[in-house]
Structure 1
Amino acid sequence: MTCWFQAVFVVAWFRQRPNLALHGKAFGLSQATAYRYLHEAIDVLADQAPDLHSALHRAAGEGLPHLILDGKVFDATDAASRP
């Protein structure tokens, strides 16, 4: 499977979050391969995501007073003064 096909598979899954075994079958994949492709894509996305400190420093640099991450409010103005 090409990278493009794998990306289409994962984007389609993220849009609707269907049963992964059935979704994989629709793409001609076994259940094990569907899970592997999904988790590989999630790992790639997670590696590119900023950590909390980077996100807070960026928000402070852009003048945002706070940031809401996963339902929790973090003060971004304090982040600028931290190392």
Structure 2
Amino acid sequence: MRSRGPRRRFPRSRARPPNDSTIATHLAAMTHLIDESSAQGVSTDLPRQIKAVADRAVAEGLGRSSHAAMIGRFRSPE
């Protein structure tokens, strides 16, 4: 078996908080993406659909969950 070498460990100061990738955390970024895309003349259809699914997930109490919790909502977005 081949060794992969020592594992890299990041100092605690660079550790990401556990809520870094929650749905609620990224809603503001989704809004920003929609606004900037619109300002540049880029279609906002897909970002708006994804944000609508994220908004629905948050309304259902999944705001503190990761994006994986949205998979079921993509199957039934309405």
Q: TM-score, normalised by structure 1?
A: 0.30
- Flag the structure with larger Rg: 1
Please identify which structure carries the higher strand content.
Answer: 1
Q: TM-score, normalised by structure 2?
A: 0.32
- Work out which structure has the larger RCO, using CA pairs closer than 8 Å and 6 or more positions apart in sequence: 2
